[in-house]
Structure 1
């Protein structure tokens, strides 16, 4: 605007017009912008084939690492020969970078999508605390699981089983390399015998590994059906079906019902006090992570911590609602002590248990059966640090331990004279931290309402300044060219003098 080119009236129109415009827009930005942006962002979060959420959901954009710890049974022979207390040493971590991909996507009219998770692991030598060639002695799960099935059989049947077990590779423990235990597998004579024995339960392979045939497989975890959040953002990520069913069938009632998240999608804008419920196929159950009240800042983003508690792996001793995690055949008086879930229903009857690492929060009756447990809260804690507005995990450490209950049996040679104990098999911890690129996107989305608000404040200030300046110039008659305009306008005295002059 050039003041020299405008008259006083035009100057007033420009100043008061722009001042009013900036003031109005400033007020609109302050009052209306935050809710508008929140609405736009929330409407963009639901999962669709074209949403920004989809790309990050289909292929996880941040690095995930699986840390595997193997437990070396250091005095296995002494336990077998002399019944001494078992000692286990934790080895590792053996670290693998994990790539996650959703496959076989099928979109449904009821706002759900079905997919099969595919995970591929790559060895990370530099991040690992052990070598793949490390020799590890571990209880022989096939032999002990079969012996547990025979425990209550009559003496004649047990004698026949004991003879076959001794003749076909049965053992209390075996030693193999870390890579063989994890992914590469090893030939097992007893499994080979069971595969070819029509009286034995069905065995799919004569090779054994904790993650046998799983690397790169899309079938292992099964198919999940989750809500996309379209039409109801409070349903986003909620599991509706697993392998076509809404109940696992392994535990009764609510303990077997599918709910919560697969950890890939969480409901946004939930109260921070609300617990996180997740379902991990490997655990065969949901896990509730409780709000701790602790906040952390990761890549400049504030998140709240949720973790397992002494109630997580309860079996009814702490809360009656958790009683359903006690298998039916063990109720009502033979339920496991609080702190470990009996995996028998999902492990073909094998006496395996799921717990927090090193039996943290568990009843002393578990850890006291052996030596070697050294729980470390920072390393072994199962937790998620969550940004709750958009439901984005900032940091995850999903650590659990699987153990095997080994009991003496005088009718089975490999179990004769040993103490009863819980032998740890492996501990797994999937960990991930949000990277800078994704954090930058998240911070921009979180800051857009504030950016609009501050822009509104700036516009409002400029508008108010223009209005104040306009009012001041008007009251003081200081507009550019105001004096010249005033001189050209006849005053009442001047008009009277001119009229008298003209009358003469």
Structure 2
């Protein structure tokens, strides 16, 4: 039987199809994105009694900290002028629990202490134990000599005579100690306060004064204790103030003050960009590859820039990978933005004053000692520095700092913060034990603080965001597809009839 459909009905069907297509486009490209955007930003803004607030106040899973020591293989030969040979030992793995303490609100700003606690992870460390012995550069010993050389070279001979009483069993350019001692328990010097000798007493008094500002040094009775990480353990690095985002969602989690100041006074020219702290403490939703981020690190007293590198998949979720730019520790001649990081406090490799070459940042004004910061294995460092030591093997995949973010929510899927601590060694006049040392950069250890998002939070992203986005996408294309059929079919029939 032949079905006859009037032209009028076909026109109405076609118009209905057009309406469906338009509705699908409006819903799919305007209404749905607005709804999703509102929900995503609601989940990003910091507000009490929300899931986001719970995650903010206490991260419900530990970060992982890996310590890689550079075990010195030829310490005796170095003292006779040989090039240092180091061997990476590790990683010694620790669980790092983080939480916020003493949280205060002031309008749309939140102030708090970011506290942390380390716990040795025997299982993750495998055959390694924190009772293992390693031989590394003796930082307090070397720092004292370099500091005296800088401030009062005429006192070096007196210091040389006092060194055995100051450092006792640690009276050497290199020290052999357990991992636990080096990182947390510490090494003791100035045991009796140096009261038996005037020069020793003066040096110990200077150490005690320095302990008030130098990271890692604490006064215990008359003695001084030095460790690399204990000052962080069950403690914090200063008071942070951030924006909640309640007034302006684009400012969510932006750092605005550190220790109640809008900038640090560590680097050259207090008003310089180097001293600015304004940065992000978490990452905003709706990322693009064109975006860059500044992140402030309290333990190195400065911001670092992160830029997009590529797309990577973490637990079946695609994310944008941002890395700390490889020119972060470049010399001012190569990166003029770095000029104010040239503090001229540590003498250069050759004993002169001046800016360091690519790859090293002088942390003297930050940590109170002539410590040099770099990427692990001197990644992106000057060849001149690399040539002074054997045993380094820089690899961006292993040694860069990065974060992989889910691009819609800004949630971190995976991250790794990696830095290395080094010092220059060289022969210093009147210090007999190191009079034959060849100028070198000696790496001490590098540290990685990392996280891969826990499966339960991966599931939340998949189920509450990505799955719903997929459903909305299906609805959009379903409506557009149905409208397309309702438009094309009557149009085809009208053409056929005519």
Q: TM-score range by the shorter chain?
A: 0.7 to 0.9
Match of 1:167 in 2: 165
Match of 1:168, SS state, is helix
Match of 2:367 in 1: 347
RMSD between aligned residues: 3.1
Retained in 2: the 8 A contact 1:79–1:86?
yes
Match of 2:425 in 1: 406
Match of 1:128 in 2: 125
1:209 maps onto 2:209 in alignment: no
| Residues 427, 180 of structure 1: alpha-carbon distance in 2 compared, 3 angstrom cutoff | same
Retained in 2: the 8 A contact 1:315–1:324?
no
1:260 maps onto 2:279 in alignment: yes
Equivalent residue for 1:275, pick from 278, 285, 292: 292
Retained in 1: the 8 A contact 2:373–2:420?
yes
Equivalent residue for 1:314, pick from 296, 307, 330: 330
Match of 1:142 in 2: 140
Per-residue Cα deviation, 1:29-68 (whole angstroms, up to 9, x for no partner): 5462332222232233210112331112222234410001
Per-residue Cα deviation, 1:186-234 (whole angstroms, up to 9, x for no partner): 32347954788445551332222111243222xx311101111222222
In the TM superposition, what is the alpha-carbon distance from 1:317 to its structure 2 partner?
Answer: 2.2
Match of 2:258 in 1: 242
The answer for unaligned runs of 5 or more in structure 2 is 1-12, 195-199, 212-217, 490-498
TM-score when scaled to structure 1? Answer: 0.80
Per-residue Cα deviation, 1:403-432 (whole angstroms, up to 9, x for no partner): 011121131123211111111111000111
Retained in 1: the 8 A contact 2:61–2:97?
no
Match of 2:215 in 1: none
Structure 1: how far apart are the matches of 2:201 and 2:406? Answer: 49
In the TM superposition, what is the alpha-carbon distance from 1:447 to its structure 2 partner?
Answer: 4.0
Retained in 2: the 8 A contact 1:339–1:363?
yes
Match of 2:357 in 1: 337
Match of 1:383 in 2: 402
User: Structure 1 residues 271-280 or 182-191, which shifts more?
Assistant: 182-191
Structure 2: how far apart are the matches of 1:214 and 1:309? Answer: 26
Alignment of 1:367-446 (within 5 A): 367-443=386-462, 444-446=464-466
Match of 1:335, SS state, is coil
| Residues 153, 231 of structure 1: alpha-carbon distance in 2 compared, 3 angstrom cutoff | closer
In the TM superposition, what is the alpha-carbon distance from 1:377 to its structure 2 partner?
Answer: 3.0
Retained in 1: the 8 A contact 2:57–2:100?
yes
1:188 maps onto 2:189 in alignment: yes
1:117 maps onto 2:114 in alignment: yes
- The count of residues paired between Structure 1 and Structure 2 equals 445
1:452 maps onto 2:451 in alignment: no
Per-residue Cα deviation, 1:278-301 (whole angstroms, up to 9, x for no partner): 111122211112222x21111222
1:287 maps onto 2:298 in alignment: no
Match of 1:288, SS state, is strand
In the TM superposition, what is the alpha-carbon distance from 1:134 to its structure 2 partner?
Answer: 1.2
Match of 2:160, SS state, is helix
Structure 1: how far apart are the matches of 2:159 and 2:378? Answer: 33
1:47 maps onto 2:46 in alignment: yes
Retained in 2: the 8 A contact 1:155–1:411?
no
Retained in 2: the 8 A contact 1:313–1:339?
yes
In the TM superposition, what is the alpha-carbon distance from 1:255 to its structure 2 partner?
Answer: 0.8
In the TM superposition, what is the alpha-carbon distance from 1:70 to its structure 2 partner?
Answer: 1.2
Match of 2:6 in 1: none
Structure 1: how far apart are the matches of 2:284 and 2:50? Answer: 16
Larger CA Rg, structure 1 vs 2: 1
Structure 2: how far apart are the matches of 1:210 and 1:127? Answer: 21
| Residues 161, 41 of structure 1: alpha-carbon distance in 2 compared, 3 angstrom cutoff | same
| Residues 54, 251 of structure 1: alpha-carbon distance in 2 compared, 3 angstrom cutoff | same
Per-residue Cα deviation, 1:352-400 (whole angstroms, up to 9, x for no partner): 1111000010101222111111223332222111223222221111111
| Residues 313, 152 of structure 1: alpha-carbon distance in 2 compared, 3 angstrom cutoff | closer
